[in-house]
Amino acid sequence: MGLKRKVTTKRRGELSTSKISKSDSSAKKTNGASGTTAASSSTQSLTREQVVSAYRNCISARLIDTRILSLLKQGKCFFHIGGSGHEIAQVAMALAMKPGYDWAYPYYRDLGFSLQFGYTIEEIMLEALHRKGGPSSNGFAMPFHYGHKKWRIIAQSSPTGTQYLGAVGTAMGAAMDGKDEVVYVSSGEGATSEGEFHEAVNWAARGKYPVIFLIQNNKYAISVPVADQLAGESVYGMVAGYKGLNRYRVDGCDFAAVYDVAAEAVAKARAGEGPSVIEADTVRLLPHSSSDDHRKYRDSKEIEDDLKKDPIPRFEKFLIEKGFLTSDEIKKMREEIIDRINSAAEATEELPMPAGDDLERYVYSPRVVVPAVGFTEPVHKGSSIVLVDAINHALHEEMEVNPKMLIYGEDIAGKKGGVFTATKGLTAKFGRERVFNSPLAEASIIGTAFGLAVRGDYKPVVEIQFGDYIWPGFMQLRDEVAMLRFRANNEWACPMVVRVAVGGYIHGGLYHSQSIDGFFTHIPGLRVVFPSNAADAKGLLKTACREEDPVLFLEHKGLYRQGFAASPEPDKEYLLPFGVAGIRKAGNDITILTWGMLVQRSLDAAAKIEEQHGVSIEVIDLRTLNPLDKETILSSIRKTGKVLIVHEDTLTGGFGAELAAIISSEAFESLDAPVTRVAAKDTPVPYGPLLENAMLPQESDVFVALEKLARY
Ligand SMILES: Cc1ncc(C[n+]2csc(CCOP(=O)(O)OP(=O)(O)O)c2C)c(N)n1
């Protein structure tokens, strides 16, 4: 690791140490991990070519903003969010990095950054006009949501603030690989109020990961001024307490000052000297977006004052004074760029837009690693194990197969092996580099896993201790993880596994008993797996570790050590494909569809009704809720004509409602009775045992429902 110094010979207008002196620079303060220092340009030099191309990208960004606003007025595009006023800070930052080697998580204002990092004007136009072939998303994501595989720009989402944790994960991967890559992430000052910003800074500083947080402070978050946003007047001040974090505040309208600071932060990151927060003071010269009118909340004097601070004329003055360009050269360059933008816009308008046929192509990976077709269930011959040990063995085996698999979460490392012992022995065997504790922060666990997975080789298999506490990570799972492949038109993906302990019947009360399957089966792009026994748990988890889609792997706490969920252990080669339901018991009169804890209760109720009333029940364990084995479900119902859906999650909006809808529309003619559901009552899971029994579905509830169905 270490900074590779640039060796150049001086030419006309070359920037040298003497030319960017500290007095040139408006870098205010830095407080590095190693003490307080001033940013210095002494180790950096830029060629004229570099500075001129930085200027070219600045004015390209500015002129693109202008052009898109006119296209918008003509109704040719629907949305614009511009970077006017931010260009200098962004371009100077990108200039200090290595595009295609370093990684970037830009935000919607980062047009200048993206151009400097490798985007072309033509590519920006493709996205602005939602045409096929744009590098970020092919028209799936909104414009100004940057993404470019070649340049390692991870396709951006719209929630502001989710980007930081992904960046930390990507930086973790760089550090683990011993590479001196740097990861850029940016936002405005407003988004730093999101908790995930602080989680990300904490995680990065704690691990000394090579992340640079460029916070572009334009004094407003839409209409909200800094005074309503921050404790104190700066992000720089707010992050003072993170040990190991380098901090800078810089005039973001001063090219030399930003470059100075950026180069220093990059050098530190490459040398393993930790992350940096750079707060660059910028001006927002346009309203927040094309949907906003800033005259409603800014007075005209203030808008005028910001226009006077426009960084581009200031940069031009600098270029002329230092002899990089003449005013004629600047004028000529502008004209050339305007021509290029206009030609790009005209050419783009002729290109096709993605159409309806493209819609569902990349919700999931086009490649299924463990195919369901041709699968036959073997008879397992190993000795009997309980479900939690099956999970543990699957993790051990997959860690051996895949050296890039990592396991982390709360309390999972060391001798304890998690609160349920699922990860026991893994740290001892594979080391703390691969099996480690996370901070107590669920969004961080999922967000960093995303950032590791997008690198392409890492397979994070992370744990959320209780389903009840997955919610801080919900935004990451839904908006980042599950949507990435779709919004990136298959250019980016984040194959990862999130193991979660769920479910009741263990007197865990309101906050250690929840079922969460109803929420997560509603999310396109996320596989949802819910085993009911040890053999399935092992086979499904091993498959989850190999598939290319993100998987939510639900483990019922009440089944971990349950005798009826124990099975003979499958061998190391056994992989249970997703989308293959298990017929636990064949029957002819009523079909039960169930999963997780309710499989055994359903089997018990089925045995009882067969014995008492001679009714023959088929019990189907769905095993994976997404993908769903519709074929097995529908062919059973076509045979029996009656169906009972049994699940532990609450009734309203539970996954059973979806099953009922599928059955009504696809097997209506086969039905001899109403589709019936047994589920938890629509209340939280209470603590007291009598209350808990009343709330969660019992064997007797299944029995009563079967009796009723049998009477039809
Ligand atoms: C999580 C989330 N909440 C709200 C929004 C709506 N929103 C989009 S941009 C924005 C303001 C962001 O301000 P700031 O971070 O200061 O960046 P700026 O736009 O000023 O550059 C808001 C509230 C969002 N996209 N994501």
**Average pLDDT by stretches of 10, the chain with 712 residues:** 30 32 40 36 72 97 97 94 97 98 98 98 97 92 96 97 98 98 98 98 98 98 96 95 97 96 97 98 96 94 96 96 96 98 97 93 97 95 98 98 98 92 97 97 98 98 98 98 97 98 96 97 98 98 98 98 98 98 98 98 98 98 98 98 98 98 98 98 97 98 98 96
Contact 285, 219 (CB under 8 A): no
User: What is d(CA 267, CA 276) in angstroms, rounded to the nearest whole number?
Assistant: 11
CA 221 to ligand 1: nearest atom = 13
Write down the residue that tokens 């003072």 correspond to: 240
Contact 317, 309 (CB under 8 A): no
**One-character DSSP codes across 408-474:** EETT-STTT-STTSTTTTHHHHH-TTTEEEPPS-HHHHHHHHHHHHTTSS-EEEEEES-GGG-GGGH
- Give, in order, the Cα–Cα distances in Å from 541 to each of 20, 496, 621: 56, 11, 16
Nearest CA to ligand 1 atom 8: 160
CA 159 to ligand 1: nearest atom = 26
Spacing, Cα 188 to ligand 1 middle (Å)? 8
CA 107 to ligand 1: nearest atom = 21
Express each pLDDT in 372-423 by its tens digit: 999 999 999 999 999 999 999 999 999 999 999 999 999 999 988 999 999 9
CA 187 to ligand 1: nearest atom = 15
Spacing, Cα 495 to ligand 1 middle (Å)? 28
Spacing, Cα 345 to ligand 1 middle (Å)? 28
Site residues for ligand 1, CB cut-off 6 Å? 109, 158-161, 187-191, 216, 218, 220-222, 288
Spacing, Cα 291 to ligand 1 middle (Å)? 13
Spacing, Cα 160 to ligand 1 middle (Å)? 5
Tell which residue, 224, 318, 252, has the closest CA to residue 85: 252
Spacing, Cα 159 to ligand 1 middle (Å)? 8
By 3-state DSSP, what share of the chain in percent is helix, strand and coil, each rounded to 5? 40, 15, 45
- Angle (deg, nearest 10), helices 87-95 and 48-73: 140
**Strands laid side by side in the 590-594 sheet:** 582-585, 617-621, 590-594, 643-650, 676-680
Nearest CA to ligand 1 atom 18: 188
- Quote the pLDDT of residue 137: 87
- Quote the pLDDT of residue 698: 98
**One-character DSSP codes across 54-73:** HHHHHHHHHHHHHHHHHHHH
User: What is d(CA 325, CA 218) in angstroms, rounded to the nearest whole number?
Assistant: 28
Nearest CA to ligand 1 atom 21: 188
Task: List domains and CATH numbers for the chain.
Answer: 27-352 (3.40.50.970), 384-568 (3.40.50.970), 582-711 (3.40.50.920)
CA 289 to ligand 1: nearest atom = 19
Tell which residue, 483, 515, 518, has the closest CA to residue 500: 515
- Quote the pLDDT of residue 41: 52
Name the catalytic one among 86, 145, 512, 647. 512
**Intra-chain end-to-end CA distance of the chain, in Å:** 74
Express each pLDDT in 620-671 by its tens digit: 999 999 999 999 999 999 999 999 999 999 999 999 999 999 999 999 999 9
- Quote the pLDDT of residue 33: 36
**Strands laid side by side in the 497-502 sheet:** 435-437, 405-409, 459-464, 497-502, 551-556, 527-529, 624-626
User: Based on the number of CB atoms within 10 Å of its own CB, is 471 exposed (0-12), middle (13-18) or buried (19 or more)?
Assistant: middle
Spacing, Cα 222 to ligand 1 middle (Å)? 7
Spacing, Cα 134 to ligand 1 middle (Å)? 24
Which of 108, 145, 160 has most ligand 1 atoms within 8 Å of CB, for mutation?
160
Residues 6+ apart with CB under 8 A from 14: 8, 45, 46, 47, 48
Residues 6+ apart with CB under 8 A from 597: 503, 505, 532, 556, 558, 559, 648
Measured in degrees and rounded to the nearest 5, phi and psi for residue 202 equal: -60, -50
- Give, in order, the Cα–Cα distances in Å from 597 to each of 216, 315, 377, 556, 699: 50, 66, 21, 7, 11
Which of 107, 113, 222, 292 has most ligand 1 atoms within 8 Å of CB, for mutation?
222
Spacing, Cα 475 to ligand 1 middle (Å)? 15
CA 160 to ligand 1: nearest atom = 26
Q: Is 512 a catalytic residue?
A: yes
- Count of residues making up the chain: 712
